[in-house]
Chains A and B, each alone.
Chain A
Amino acid sequence: MPAITYIEFDGTKYHVDVAVGSSVMEGALNNMIDGIVAECGGCCVCCTCHCIIDPDWAEIAGEANDEEQEVLEMLDVRTETSRLSCQVQVTDEMDGMVVRLPESQY
């Protein structure tokens, strides 16, 4: 299973195994990582699972689709590699990926 590192805003790090085919959001929820709220459970409707992909991994994580882009546009704290973690499907290539979480999802 690919191991993903989640870094909370306060610097707390979590190294967790996330199943291929699940989402970066699910990896956070299943490991009780608080920086992801995911109010809608992964339906791309709530925008409370924002994460910032480490720039070195941005290409592997891929680009946001149109629907996701529209939501991301509205964020006050959007960065170039911002994604909605529910829309990032985990692949074997993501082993070692680093993901940072914003201070707040609201």
Chain B
Amino acid sequence: MEVIDHVVIIGASHAAVQLMISLRQQGWLGGITVISDELHMPYQRPPLSKAYLDGSVEEGRLALRAPEMYEKLDAVFKLGHTVVAIDVATNQITLDTGEKIAYTKLALCTGARVRQLALPGAELGGVHYLRTMDDVKGIRQSAKNAKRAVIIGGGYIGLETAASLTKLGIKVTVLETESRLLKRVASEQVSEFYKRLHEEEGVEIRLGSKVVALQGDGQVRSVICDDDTYSDADMVIIGVGVIPNTELASEAGLVVENGIVVDEFAQTSHPDIVAAGDCTFHPNALLKRSLRLESVPNASEQAKAAAASLCGIKKAYSELPWFWSDQFDVKLQIVGISQGYTEAVVRGDTSRDRSFTVFYIKDQHIIAADCINRPKDFMMAKKLILQQSTIDVAALVDEGIDIKTLIN
């Protein structure tokens, strides 16, 4: 029997879409089937907590690509289906319906899911998580009649949601268990800034507040913390991080750590299987270590390497990670990973303005930067990190000196 080449892609978000495009661009002639547990065609995730939530962008504008493009790619979508097993011995996957689909190559773009809190009252109406378009549809529905919202978690998703709901005229309280916002990912200067920004915009920020229960009468009415304080709420959004979807991979015997382990070519521990996006634990030659990232640029760029691998081409993925966040009139652009920095220095004034950059320094080199309304600094920070030369900190923080002159 003739074997027909067939790539099956599990997942249909940013990584999956780039992967199918790159497959065709690299000359893949076989079939492409995409399986997603969501019912929507691929859509952009970043606007979900921002422009889609506050209503400035509607659903039609979220499409990741025009429908005709998928026709040109000759990709078959199976939406609303969960893959329950991968059989690496026979190269088949099994769907929730029992249907089996054979593959010659498999791509795992399974992404991540929200971390859930086992709180009493978490099942009440008006309590939401935020990861998918349907999640945000639910949030928008609740927001129509809400006066007060409580957000559990002071990370980027929580803060973006706070900003969007504030724009809709809702009084928002953010409850964060740590002593400062964004503690896991940002310096004290940046945390302080976001606290000030949100307070200036009318958001109440309560730090060191651990939620112990949600209360209501079918519909959530209040949120109770471990210090016995409580906050009124018509709606609650829980944003306490995500967990990579690695179960299918580990059950199939693939190596999994904090994510599905892949090499720089997005190859998993099985020769017929690649993986890309939020679900992968991958090496980065620039950072000289392996890590898992939750970001669109990572998903897209890694997917290109994964597609190349499936076509027998070696294309190493090694990019400097970057991220962004929009809150109120502030655009944050982050480049590099600040973890392990020994000094954080500021270009600009963090106490008064809404425009400055924090550079993270280690061994006299810039390893990362958080750029607040500073697109120019962002572009330059990228170059400064990559050139890996000793940095003149005095010049870096001197606004009288054009940052461009620091580039070799």
Contacts of B355-396 to chain A: CB distance below 8 A: 375-376, 378-380
**How many interface residues does B have (CB within 8 Å)?**
27
Closest chain A residue, CB of each to CB of B300: A39
Whether B65 and A45, one on each chain, are in contact in the complex, defined by CB atoms closer than 8 angstroms, is no
Please give, as numbers and ranges, the residues of chain A lying within 8 Å of B46 by CB-CB distance.
Answer: 40-41, 43
Contacts known (A31-B69, A45-B333, A46-B322); A39 close to B375, Cβ less than 8 A: no
C-alpha spacing A41/B61, complex, angstroms: 11
Q: Which of A34, A39, A71, A73 has the most CB of B within 10 A?
A: A39
B297 within 8 A of A: yes
* Chain A interface, >50% SS class: loop
- Chain A 5-36 against B: per-residue CB contact (8 Å), 1 yes, 0 no? 00000000000000100000010011110100
Whether B297 and A71, one on each chain, are in contact in the complex, defined by CB atoms closer than 8 angstroms, is no
Which residue of B24, B68, B324, B375 contacts A67 across the interface (Cβ within 8 Å)?
B375
Contacts known (A29-B65, A32-B25); A40 close to B376, Cβ less than 8 A: no
- Chain B 43-75 against A: per-residue CB contact (8 Å), 1 yes, 0 no? 010110000000000000000111011001000
Please give, as numbers and ranges, the residues of chain A lying within 8 Å of B324 by CB-CB distance.
Answer: 40, 43, 45-46
C-alpha spacing A34/B64, complex, angstroms: 16
Please give, as numbers and ranges, the residues of chain A lying within 8 Å of B160 by CB-CB distance.
Answer: none
C-alpha spacing A40/B323, complex, angstroms: 9
Which residue of B44, B64, B69, B379 contacts A32 across the interface (Cβ within 8 Å)?
B69
A103 within 8 A of B: no
Contacts known (A41-B46, A43-B46, A74-B380); A32 close to B24, Cβ less than 8 A: yes
Please give, as numbers and ranges, the residues of chain B lying within 8 Å of A30 by CB-CB distance.
Answer: 65-66, 68-69
Contacts known (A40-B297, A43-B326); A34 close to B25, Cβ less than 8 A: yes
- Chain B 18-60 against A: per-residue CB contact (8 Å), 1 yes, 0 no? 0001001100000000000000000010110000000000000
Closest chain B residue, CB of each to CB of A37: B300
C-alpha spacing A26/B44, complex, angstroms: 13
Please give, as numbers and ranges, the residues of chain A lying within 8 Å of B300 by CB-CB distance.
Answer: 39
B331 within 8 A of A: yes
Please give, as numbers and ranges, the residues of chain B lying within 8 Å of A99 by CB-CB distance.
Answer: none
Whether B375 and A45, one on each chain, are in contact in the complex, defined by CB atoms closer than 8 angstroms, is yes
A47 within 8 A of B: yes
Whether B379 and A71, one on each chain, are in contact in the complex, defined by CB atoms closer than 8 angstroms, is yes
- Chain A 34-64 against B: per-residue CB contact (8 Å), 1 yes, 0 no? 1000011101011100000000000000000
Closest chain A residue, CB of each to CB of B44: A41
B296 within 8 A of A: yes
C-alpha spacing A70/B355, complex, angstroms: 13
Which residue of B21, B64, B296, B379 contacts A40 across the interface (Cβ within 8 Å)?
B296
Please give, as numbers and ranges, the residues of chain A lying within 8 Å of B64 by CB-CB distance.
Answer: 41
Q: Which of B66, B375, B380 has the most CB of A within 10 A?
A: B375
Whether B376 and A74, one on each chain, are in contact in the complex, defined by CB atoms closer than 8 angstroms, is yes
Whether A41 and B380, one on each chain, are in contact in the complex, defined by CB atoms closer than 8 angstroms, is no
Please give, as numbers and ranges, the residues of chain A lying within 8 Å of B21 by CB-CB distance.
Answer: 32
C-alpha spacing A33/B65, complex, angstroms: 12
Closest chain B residue, CB of each to CB of A45: B324
Q: Which of A30, A67, A71 has the most CB of B within 10 A?
A: A30
The residues of B with any CB-CB pair to A shorter than 8 Å are 21, 24-25, 44, 46-47, 64-66, 68-69, 72, 296-297, 300-301, 322, 324, 326, 331, 333, 375-376, 378-380, 404
